[in-house]
């Protein structure tokens, strides 16, 4: 047994990903795979971003100072703040982890939605915090009044994924307005807006407004979803400059890679038209998929993210296994307690139609087995 592992690590659960594309091709003897289990943008990366990233390869021997600073400036302009209100990380996950290191200590409490992004729990537990879970409602929604009921003088962080993963639900902005005023003096609301660009913008709270008003709120965003740069690993936070300074103190210097930074800068400066164009296509396909799934007997939740979330007449793991055999990777939601629910990322229009066809075939096969 390895010695010296900190005791909090024994409280954590290792992230276990599903089968990779290579594993699926190998295990099922396939030549191609459609991966729609991780909420990636199948249209990215966009052309100007690809060009900018390719040009950086010859500079990988040098730390990425220029684009690190430039990206902060671009994001500051986008959100109407100064650049010292922005900091970066190796994807949103790294940003979340560094926030936990900045704010949490042994004996603190955090509040998390029970059916949400699992990383919130693990990065809190490793810092010695007690995790208080609040279940979603029967309509797969986060009720901030339920969160307020478990606030205490020990609560240091409330983690909120908005839109939520895996359900795609959005907390009404007036509910967050109310909740922000309920926070204890030393408690922070962390709003993870990884999927915000796919939502109806009038439904979302004005996170920057809270921060400008001096509220204990931090906004988190990423280039992985809307911008199609999941492999570039670029995430960022928006917060008051004093908090950002402490975040930068705790995190490593230049905590973003040169290639990803170049791609992110190009996306903001030159690829906005493509980002908007393909976002609209994905949103239209999301509605098309919900309509078709409903016709197939599924119960669909009106997702505000780049995925559909629905219940099936059958066990989700059984459905997912049949799809794997056809080279389609989706996410069964049993790990969140939803044994008959599936989350499917929005792919290209062609991929989405293929998934629907194979899903209908899977339902037919499972129905015939039940009738035997």
* pLDDT exceeds cutoff 90 at 118: yes
Average pLDDT, the chain: 96
Q: Please write the tens of the pLDDT for every residue from 266-280.
A: 999 999 999 999 999
DSSP state of 203: G
Q: Do 226 and 41 touch, CB atoms closer than 8 A?
A: yes
The alpha carbon torsion through 82, 87, 88, 91 (nearest 10 deg) reads -110
* pLDDT exceeds cutoff 90 at 16: no
Class of domain 47-270: alpha beta
The confidence score (pLDDT) of residue 18 equals 78
* pLDDT exceeds cutoff 90 at 212: yes
- Predicted confidence band at 19 (pLDDT cuts at 50, 70, 90)? confident
d(CA 262, CA 156): 35
Q: Give the contacts of 150 (CB within 8 A, at least 6 positions apart).
A: 111, 132, 134
d(CA 308, CA 135): 20
Handedness of CA 104, 106, 110, 112 (dihedral sign): positive
Which CATH code is given to the segment(s) 7-44+273-370? 3.90.1150.10
Q: Please, where in the chain does CATH 3.40.640.10 lie?
A: 47-270
The confidence score (pLDDT) of residue 319 equals 98
DSSP state of 345: E
Mean pLDDT, residues 121-129: 97
**Length of the chain as a residue count:** 372
Q: How far, in Å, are 218, 254, 347 from residue 298 at the CA level?
A: 36, 46, 19
d(CA 333, CA 317): 8
DSSP 316-336: HHHHHHHHHHTTEE-EE-GGG
- Predicted confidence band at 372 (pLDDT cuts at 50, 70, 90)? low
Q: Please write the tens of the pLDDT for every residue from 333-369.
A: 999 999 999 999 999 999 999 999 999 999 999 998 8
Q: Please, where in the chain does CATH 3.90.1150.10 lie?
A: 7-44+273-370
Handedness of CA 232, 237, 242, 247 (dihedral sign): negative
Q: Decide which of 232 and 18 is more confident.
A: 232
The confidence score (pLDDT) of residue 17 equals 76
d(CA 72, CA 351): 35
Mean pLDDT, residues 103-119: 97
The confidence score (pLDDT) of residue 89 equals 98
Strand order in the sheet with 307-311: 299-301, 307-311, 341-345, 331-332
- Predicted confidence band at 15 (pLDDT cuts at 50, 70, 90)? confident
Q: Please write the tens of the pLDDT for every residue from 138-189.
A: 999 999 999 999 999 999 999 999 999 999 999 999 999 999 999 999 999 9
The confidence score (pLDDT) of residue 254 equals 86
Q: Pairing state of beta strands 328-329 and 34-35?
A: parallel
Q: Please write the tens of the pLDDT for every residue from 68-99.
A: 999 999 999 999 999 999 999 999 999 999 99
């Amino acid at each position: 047994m390895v010695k010296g592992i900190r005791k909090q690590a024994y409280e954590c659960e290792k992230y276990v990903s599903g089968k990779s594309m290579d594993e699926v091709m190998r295990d099922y003897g396939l030549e191609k795979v459609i991966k729609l289990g991780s909420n990636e943008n199948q249209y990215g990366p966009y052309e100007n971003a690809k060009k900018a990233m390719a040009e950086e390869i010859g500079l990988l021997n040098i730390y990425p100072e220029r684009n690190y600073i430039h990206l902060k400036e671009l994001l500051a302009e986008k959100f109407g703040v100064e650049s010292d209100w922005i900091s970066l990380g190796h994807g949103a996950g790294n940003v979340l982890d560094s926030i936990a290191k900045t704010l949490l200590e042994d004996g603190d409490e955090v509040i998390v939605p029970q059916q949400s992004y699992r990383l919130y729990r693990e990065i809190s537990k490793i810092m010695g915090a007690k995790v208080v879970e609040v279940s979603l409602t029967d309509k797969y929604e986060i009720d901030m009044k339920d969160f307020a009921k478990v606030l205490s003088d020990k609560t240091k962080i409330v983690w909120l994924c908005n839109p939520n993963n895996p359900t795609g639900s959005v907390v009404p902005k007036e509910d967050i307005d109310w909740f922000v005023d309920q926070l204890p003096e030393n408690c922070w609301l962390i709003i993870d807006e990884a999927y915000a660009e796919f939502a109806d913008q009038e439904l979302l709270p004005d996170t920057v407004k809270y921060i400008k008003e001096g509220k204990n709120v931090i906004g988190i965003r990423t280039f992985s979803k809307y911008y199609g740069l999941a492999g570039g690993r670029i995430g960022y936070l928006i917060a008051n400059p004093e908090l950002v300074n402490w975040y930068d103190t705790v995190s490593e210097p230049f905590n973003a890679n040169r290639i990803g930074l170049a791609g992110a800068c190009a996306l903001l400066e030159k690829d906005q038209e493509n980002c908007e164009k393909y976002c609209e296509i994905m949103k239209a396909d999301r509605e098309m998929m919900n309509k078709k799934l409903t016709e197939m007997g599924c119960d669909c939740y009106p997702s505000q993210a780049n995925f559909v979330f629905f219940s099936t007449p059958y066990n989700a793991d059984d459905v997912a296994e049949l799809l794997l055999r056809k080279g389609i990777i989706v996410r069964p939601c049993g790990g969140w307690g939803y044994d008959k629910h599936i989350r499917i990322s929005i792919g290209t229009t062609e991929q989405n139609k293929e998934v629907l066809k194979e899903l209908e075939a899977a339902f037919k096969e499972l129905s015939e087995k039940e009738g035997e």
